[in-house]
Amino acid sequence: MPHDAAATRPLAARRPARPLSGEARVPGDKSISHRALMIGTLAVGETRIEGLLEGEDVLRTAAAMRALGAEAENLGGGRWRVAGRGVGGLVEPTDILDMGNSGTAARLLAGILSTHPLVAFMTGDASLRRRPMQRVITPLSQMGAQFVSRAGGRLPLAITGAAEPVAADYTLPVASAQVKSAILLAGLNAPGITRVVEPQPTRDHSELMLRHFGATVTVNALAGGGREILLAGQPELAGRDVKVPGDPSSAAFPAVAALIVPGSRVLLPNVGLNPLRAGLYATLAEMGAPITIQNRREEAGEPVGDLLVESGPLRAVDVPPERAPTMIDEYPVLAVAAACASGTSRMRGLGELKVKESDRLTATARNLAACGARVEIEGEDLIVHGTGRPPAGGARVETLMDHRLAMSALVLGLASEQAVAVDDTAFIDTSFPGFAALMQALGARFDPA
Ligand code: S3P
């Protein structure tokens, strides 16, 4: 695992001689992949998964599920078989669970562990050890689990799961699908109804998949736009087939690249378009982006489509704060599109970006500025002054163990006059293994830097 300087992989992106063209299948959805392995572990019998993301983050989850007694077998070509233990049937892991770079893996797993009567230890890489875990420690403690953490609720963490768990009734203080999912997964092994209220709707893959495996999940819309999610505890989950769609957050990178490299035309088949994930595509449409969604369909309860992306002039956009949960991971690459657009874009309410794999709000602004864009941060808003032409480039940017910062900078380098180099592309493997090869097959120019 690339945790040290010796394993860094610098890369530079340059304007290609020809436009980007062709068809590219992005890897499976990261959020759905984690959940398929975890919920498969909590089901009785066999779960067969197609299209699982085999990025490092998800492989950490697979390893953790094995440590809890499940079988998780890679059958090749993105097909996996999970033999579950059933709700309440996990075994105590004999060693520390290392969740690598993955906040989703760490927080959802904390939920699962907290209502099983076992003791577990969890850590992660330097990026994950800086991220806040108190947001799950607080509700999971109310359900009866006990935690010992580093100062500020940071990993490593010791978790003593509750022997007699209590169902939760919890209102999320931040819009976070990870916190919501941690509570729902914990609620599976608590008697009674676990209730989570979210002031703003966040991705609902956990709710959809829990239902798919046989749990009773009720979702009620609340006045003011929020939602109430009710889960009936101690269900008998049964193994199921899961088909994982392509990750819209990964498709964002070739999509924005095709928009900003003149003359490009790229087809991205089989991209997940869950409305709670598709905010970027709505925003790009408002910018005038020529993106067509073809062949809309539903697969395993998730909306899916093929994206046809052509280059075109982009205009500035004002992204309201309530859209943030539906595109939270896409702001770094949206900021690249905004830097190439004409006019001043404002992306509002981005406080949560500060606690991602890096402080993405600061780093996105800094990286774009290093490439010659005019960028400001005002409170929790990111403001990008586009000139209608790509920024000059010519910088080497720091990617801070953050896959999405690395991919965003490389996308910018495909359009800027001078190359953009990134100090490390190793972390791209956490979410998008094969990114460089996929982009090169479309015509991108990447060279060692
Ligand atoms: C995720 C939720 C989001 C997102 C992350 C994946 C999930 O995090 O940024 O990449 O799978 O639930 P938050 O819940 O912290 O917003």
Residues 244-286: pLDDT tens digits? 999 999 999 999 999 999 999 999 999 999 999 999 999 999 9
Q: How far apart are CA 127 and CA 424, in angstroms?
A: 14
Q: What is the rounded CA–CA span in Å between residue 38 and residue 209?
A: 10
**Nearest C-alpha to atom 11 of ligand 1 is from which residue?**
31
From atom 5 of ligand 1, which residue's Cα is the shortest distance away?
Answer: 104
Round to whole Å and give the CA distance between 289 and 8.
Answer: 34
154 and 133 in contact (C-beta within 8 Å)?
A: yes
Low-confidence ranges of the chain (pLDDT < 50): 1-3
- pLDDT tens-digit profile of 141-190? 999 999 999 999 999 999 999 999 999 999 999 999 999 999 999 999 99
Q: Which atom of ligand 1 is nearest to the CA of 175?
A: 16
Which protein residues are within 6 Å of ligand 1, measured from CB? 31, 104, 176-178, 181, 203, 328-329, 352
What is the distance in A from the centroid of ligand 1 to the CA of 219? Answer: 19
Ligand 1 atom index nearest CA of 203: 12
Question: Coil, strand or helix: which one is 223?
Answer: coil
Sheet with 193-198: list strands edge to edge.
Answer: 169-171, 193-198, 227-232, 217-221
Decide if 329 is catalytic: yes
**pLDDT attached to residue 4:** 52
Tell me the CA–centroid distance for residue 329 and ligand 1, in Å.
8
H-helix or E-strand containing 135?
A: helix 134-142
| Other Cβ atoms closer than 10 A to 148 | 11
User: Pocket of ligand 1, candidates 29, 31, 357, 402: which has the most ligand atoms within 8 Å of its Cβ, to mutate?
Assistant: 31
- Alpha-carbon distance 26 to 53, whole Å? 10
CB environment 67-81: b (16+ within 10 A), e (fewer): bbebebeeeeebebe
Which residue in 29, 57, 247, 329 is the catalytic one?
329
pLDDT confidence of residue 1: 44
Q: How, if at all, do strands 154-160 and 119-123 pair? A: antiparallel
Domains of the chain plus CATH, in order, are: 5-28+245-448 (3.65.10.10), 30-231 (3.65.10.10)
Residue 109 CA, ligand 1 centroid: distance in Å? 13
Asked if residues 426 and 8 have their Cβ atoms less than 8 Å apart, the reply is yes
Q: Which atom of ligand 1 is nearest to the CA of 352?
A: 16
